[in-house]
């Protein structure tokens, strides 16, 4: 149990350090990206569900690339 807590603390410290390093080199984390991307991803999931329903499991082709890493971290 103590090992899990220690591991979680190390991850948090790493993320905080990475955030400050990104700011130092002129990048920023786009925190609003996930709220907008969630709506788009939900729409893609609805379209995919309809496609699976109409065409069957074997013929359905769905694109599940909801997150674009280039838009999460951007240059200031």
Q: Quote the pLDDT of residue 8.
A: 96
Q: Quote the pLDDT of residue 5.
A: 96
Q: Quote the pLDDT of residue 44.
A: 82
Which residues of the chain are under the pLDDT cut of 70?
A: 56-60
Q: Quote the pLDDT of residue 58.
A: 66
Q: Quote the pLDDT of residue 25.
A: 94
Q: Quote the pLDDT of residue 18.
A: 94
Domain boundaries, the chain: 2-75
Q: Quote the pLDDT of residue 69.
A: 74
Q: How far apart are CA 43 and CA 30, in angstroms?
A: 21
């Amino acid at each position: 149990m103590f090992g899990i807590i220690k591991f979680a603390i190390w991850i948090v410290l790493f993320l905080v350090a990475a955030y400050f390093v990104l700011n130092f080199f002129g990048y920023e984390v786009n925190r609003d990206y996930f709220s907008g991307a969630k709506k788009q991803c939900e729409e893609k999931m609805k379209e995919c569900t309809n496609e699976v329903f109409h065409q069957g499991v074997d013929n359905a082709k769905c694109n599940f690339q909801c997150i674009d890493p280039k838009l999460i971290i951007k240059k200031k």
